[in-house]
Chain A
Amino acid sequence: MANKNILLIEPSYKNKYPPLGLMKIAQYHGPRGKGDNVRFVKGEDYSVLDKAWDRVYVTTLFSFEYKRISRSIDFALEVVNGSADRVFVGGIAASLMHDRFVQEPRWGGVRFIRGLLDSSPAESLQLDDFAAELYSDDRHGRPIEDLIPDYSILSQITYRYPVHDAYFTYASRGCIRKCSFCGVPKLEGDQRDTESISGVVKGIEELYGPKKDLILMDNNVVASPKFKEIVAEIRDLGFVPGARLARGRVPILRRVDFNQGVDARILCKDPVYLRELSTICIQPLRIAFDHLGLAKPYTQAIRYACDSGLRELSNYMLYNFHDSPADLFERMRLNVALNEELGIRIFSFPMRYQPTDLPDRSHVGERWNRYYLRSMQIILQATHGIVSGSPVFFKRAFGDTYDDFERILMRPHQFIFNREWYDNLGGKDRLDSYERDFSALTSSQRGGLLEILGTRSPHEYRSASKGLKDSSLRRVLAYYFPTAREEEIKIWRKVRKLRTAHERQQAAVPEDERVEDAGLEDDSATDVSRRPAMEAV
Chain B
Amino acid sequence: MAVRSALVSVARASDARVPLTSEIVVGKDILELLSTAMYVDPLAILREYVQNAADAIDAAHLDGLLGSNAPGRIDVQIHGESRELVVKDNGSGVNVADAERVLVAFGASGKRGKGFRGFRGIGRLGGLGYARTLTFRTRAAGESQITEVQWDCRELREQLLAVSGKPGLEDVVRRIVSVKRVSVKGGEPHFFEVRLSGVVRMWNDRLLNSVEVGKYLSQVCPLPFDPDLPFADKIERHLANHIPPKRFLVYLNNQPTPLVRPYGRTFPVSAGKRDRFLDCELLEVPGLDGGPAAVGWILHHSYLGALRSAPEIRGLRARTRDMQVGDEEVFAGSFPERRFNSWVVGEIHMLDRLLVPNGRRDNFEHNAAYASLLNHLSPICREIARKCRASSSRRSRLHAFDKSERGLHNPLNSSNLQHSMRARVTRCWSSAG
Contacts and interface: CB of A to CB of B under 8 A. Distances in A.
B289 A52 contact: no
B375 A80 contact: yes
Interface string A188-214: 000000000000000000000000000
A73 B17 CA distance: 44
A51 B383 CA distance: 10
A294 B378 CA distance: 58
B290 interface: yes
Interface residues of B, number: 19
Chain A interface size band reads 10 to 19
B379 A83 contact: no
B382 A54 contact: no
Interface string B264-305: 000000000000000000000000111000000000000000
A519 B371 CA distance: 39
If over half of B's interface residues share one DSSP class (helix, strand or loop), that class is named, otherwise mixed; here it is helix
Nearest to A55: B375
Contact of B334 (A81, A86, A133): A81
A131 B366 CA distance: 10
Contacts of A80: 375, 378
A132 interface: yes
A49 interface: yes
A3 B291 CA distance: 12
Contact of B368 (A3, A51, A53, A133): A133
B241 interface: no
Given A50-B382, A131-B368, A86 B289 contact: no
A54 B375 CA distance: 7
B367 interface: yes
Contacts of B368: 131-134
Nearest to B366: A131
B368 to A, nearest CB: 4
Nearest to B372: A54
Given A3-B290, A50-B383, A132 B378 contact: no
Interface string A70-84: 000000000011110
Nearest to A81: B378
A52 B376 contact: yes
A53 B376 CA distance: 8
A85 interface: yes
B378 A52 contact: yes
B374 interface: yes
A1 B368 CA distance: 13
Interface in A54-68: 54
B373 to A, nearest CB: 9
A98 B375 CA distance: 27
B33 to A, nearest CB: 26
B348 to A, nearest CB: 13
Given A1-B288, A3-B290, A81 B375 contact: yes
A1 B372 CA distance: 13
A83 B383 contact: no
Nearest to B289: A1
A80 B378 CA distance: 7
B166 to A, nearest CB: 36
A50 B290 contact: no
B288 A86 contact: no
A81 to B, nearest CB: 4
Interface in B359-400: 367-369, 371-372, 374-379, 381-383
B335 to A, nearest CB: 9
A52 B371 CA distance: 11
B367 A132 contact: yes
B372 to A, nearest CB: 7
B374 A81 contact: yes
Interface in A131-151: 131-134
A53 B375 contact: yes
**5 nearest CB pairs, A to B:** A132-B368, A81-B378, A52-B376, A52-B375, A50-B379
Interface of B: 288-290, 333-334, 367-369, 371-372, 374-379, 381-383
11 contacts: A1-B288, A50-B383, A52-B376, A52-B379, A54-B375, A85-B371, A86-B375, A132-B288, A132-B368, A132-B369, A133-B368
Given A50-B383, A83-B374, 15 more contacts: A1-B290, A50-B382, A52-B375, A52-B376, A52-B377, A53-B375, A80-B375, A81-B374, A81-B378, A81-B381, A85-B371, A86-B371, A132-B288, A132-B367, A132-B368
